Amino acid sequence: MVIPARLKEFCTNVFLKMGCSPIDANLAADVLISADLRGIDSHGSARLPGYVRLWEAGRINSKPVIRITHETPGTAVVDGDRGLGLVVSPFAMEIAIKKAKKVGTGWVAVRNSNHFGIAAYHSMLALQHDMIGISMTNASPLVAPTFSKERLLGTNPISVAIPAGTEPPYVADFATTTAANGKLEILQRQGGKAPIGWVQTKEGLPSQDPNEVQNGGALLPLGGIRETGGHKGYILGSLVDIFSAILSGANYGPWVPPFVSFLPVRNDLVGDGIGHFFGVMRIDAFRDAKEFKENMDKWIGRFRNAQTIDGQERVLIPGDVEREEEIKRLKNGINLDPKVEESLKVLAEKFGLDF
Amino acid sequence: MVIPARLKEFCTNVFLKMGCSPIDANLAADVLISADLRGIDSHGSARLPGYVRLWEAGRINSKPVIRITHETPGTAVVDGDRGLGLVVSPFAMEIAIKKAKKVGTGWVAVRNSNHFGIAAYHSMLALQHDMIGISMTNASPLVAPTFSKERLLGTNPISVAIPAGTEPPYVADFATTTAANGKLEILQRQGGKAPIGWVQTKEGLPSQDPNEVQNGGALLPLGGIRETGGHKGYILGSLVDIFSAILSGANYGPWVPPFVSFLPVRNDLVGDGIGHFFGVMRIDAFRDAKEFKENMDKWIGRFRNAQTIDGQERVLIPGDVEREEEIKRLKNGINLDPKVEESLKVLAEKFGLDF
CA distance B40 to chain A (A): 16
Share above pLDDT 70 across residues of chain B, in percent, rounded to a whole number = 100
| Per-residue CA distances from B74 to A104, A261, B55, B282 (Å) | 5, 42, 33, 12
**Residues of B with CB below 8 A from A207's CB?**
none
Q: What CATH number labels B64-177+220-318?
A: 3.30.1370.60
pLDDT at B260 over 90: no
The C-alpha R_g of chain A, in whole angstroms, comes to 20
Neighbours of A47 (CB within 10 A): 21
CA distance B200 to chain A (A): 10
pLDDT in tens, A211-237: 999 999 999 999 999 999 999 999 999
pTM for the model stands at 0.98
**Residues of A with CB below 8 A from B236's CB?**
236
pLDDT at residue B69, rounded to an integer:
98
Which residues make up the CATH 3.30.1370.60 domain(s) of chain A?
A: 64-177+225-318
CB distance A253–B302 less than 8 Å?
Answer: yes
**Residues of A with CB below 8 A from B298's CB?**
270
Topology of domain A179-219 in CATH is Wheat Germ Agglutinin (Isolectin 2); domain 1 (3.30.60)
CA distance B17 to chain A (A): 35
Give the span between the Cα atoms of A149 and B352, in whole angstroms: 56
pLDDT at residue B263, rounded to an integer:
86
Comparing CB atoms, the residue among A198, A248, A316 nearest residue B286 is: A248
Give the span between the Cα atoms of B305 and B314, in whole angstroms: 7
CA distance A63 to chain B (A): 25
pLDDT at B74 over 90: yes
Q: How confident is the model at residue B262 (pLDDT cuts 50, 70, 90)?
A: confident
**Residues of A with CB below 8 A from B217's CB?**
none
CB distance B74–A104 less than 8 Å?
Answer: yes
Comparing CB atoms, the residue among B179, B239, B254 nearest residue A172 is: B239
CATH 3.40.50.261, domain B179-217, yes or no:
no
Angle formed by the axes of helices B48-56 and B338-351, nearest 10°: 40
pLDDT in tens, A14-24: 999 999 999 99
pLDDT at residue A180, rounded to an integer:
87
Pairing of strands A170-174, B131-137: unpaired
pLDDT in tens, A284-339: 999 999 999 999 999 999 999 999 999 999 999 999 999 999 999 999 999 999 99
Which residues make up the CATH 3.30.1370.60 domain(s) of chain B?
A: 64-177+220-318
**Residues of A with CB below 8 A from B205's CB?**
309
pLDDT at residue B328, rounded to an integer:
98
pLDDT at residue B265, rounded to an integer:
86
Comparing CB atoms, the residue among A229, A246, A292 nearest residue B222 is: A229
pLDDT at residue A34, rounded to an integer:
98
Distance of CA A35 to the CA centre of its chain: 9
Closest-CA residue in chain A for B279?
A105
Q: How confident is the model at residue A185 (pLDDT cuts 50, 70, 90)?
A: confident
Query: CATH says A64-177+225-318 is which class?
Result: alpha beta
pLDDT at residue A144, rounded to an integer:
98
pLDDT at residue A233, rounded to an integer:
98
Q: How confident is the model at residue B183 (pLDDT cuts 50, 70, 90)?
A: confident
pLDDT at A355 over 90: no
pLDDT at B264 over 90: no
**Residues of A with CB below 8 A from B276's CB?**
none
pLDDT at A183 over 90: no
CB distance B204–A310 less than 8 Å?
Answer: yes
Which residues make up the CATH 1.10.1530.10 domain(s) of chain B?
A: 1-62+336-355
CB distance B103–A107 less than 8 Å?
Answer: no
User: What is the pLDDT of chain A when averaged over all its residues?
Assistant: 96
CB distance B149–A223 less than 8 Å?
Answer: no
Domain B1-62+336-355 CATH (choose: 3.10.20.30, 1.10.1530.10, 3.40.50.720, 3.40.50.970): 1.10.1530.10
Comparing CB atoms, the residue among A75, A229, A314 nearest residue B286 is: A75
pLDDT at residue B355, rounded to an integer:
87
The whole-number average pLDDT for the span A97-125 is: 98
Give the span between the Cα atoms of A200 and A216, in whole angstroms: 9
pLDDT at residue A262, rounded to an integer:
83
Query: Which of A33-37, A41-45, A189-193 is predicted least confidently?
Result: A189-193
Comparing CB atoms, the residue among A77, A235, A241 nearest residue B318 is: A235
The whole-number average pLDDT for the span A196-210 is: 96
Comparing CB atoms, the residue among A204, A291, A292 nearest residue B309 is: A204
pLDDT at residue B117, rounded to an integer:
97
The whole-number average pLDDT for the span A81-101 is: 98
pLDDT at residue B75, rounded to an integer:
98
Mutant choice from B70, B75, B193, B308 vs A, greatest count of A C-beta within 10 A: B75
Distance of CA B51 to the CA centre of its chain: 14
**Residues of A with CB below 8 A from B242's CB?**
162, 170, 296, 299
Under 8 Å between Cβ of A235 and A175: no
The whole-number average pLDDT for the span A120-137 is: 98
pLDDT at residue B309, rounded to an integer:
98
Architecture of domain A1-63+335-355: Orthogonal Bundle (1.10)
pLDDT in tens, B296-346: 999 999 999 999 999 999 999 999 999 999 999 999 999 999 999 999 999
Cβ pairs bridging A and B (under 8 Å): 258
User: What is the pLDDT of chain B when averaged over all its residues?
Assistant: 96
Share above pLDDT 70 across residues of chain A, in percent, rounded to a whole number = 100
pLDDT at residue A263, rounded to an integer:
86
pLDDT at residue A139, rounded to an integer:
97
pLDDT at B181 over 90: no
Dmax over Cα atoms in chain B, in whole Å?
55
Q: According to the 3-state scheme, what is the secondary structure of chain A?
A: CECHHHHHHHHHHHHHHCCCCHHHHHHHHHHHHHHHHHCCHHHCHHHHHHHHHHHHCCCCCCCCCCEEEEEECCEEEEECCCCCHHHHHHHHHHHHHHHHHHHCEEEEEEEEECCCCCHHHHHHHHHHHCEEEEEEECCCCCECCCCECCCCECCCCEEEEECCCCCCCEEEEECCECCCHHHHHHHHHHCCCCCCCCEECCCCCEECCCCHHHHCCEECECCCCHHHCHHHHHHHHHHHHHHHHHCCCCCCHHHCCCCCCCCCCCCCCCCCCEEEEEEEEEHHHCCCHHHHHHHHHHHHHHHHCCCECCCCCCCCCCCHHHHHHHHHHHHHCECCCHHHHHHHHHHHHHHCCCC
CA distance A184 to chain B (A): 13
The whole-number average pLDDT for the span A243-270 is: 94
B111 - beta bridge partners? Answer: B79
CB distance B308–A222 less than 8 Å?
Answer: no
Comparing CB atoms, the residue among B103, B223, B318 nearest residue A74 is: B103
CB distance B306–A149 less than 8 Å?
Answer: yes
Q: Is B210 helix (H, G, I), strand (E, B) or coil?
A: coil
pLDDT at B180 over 90: no
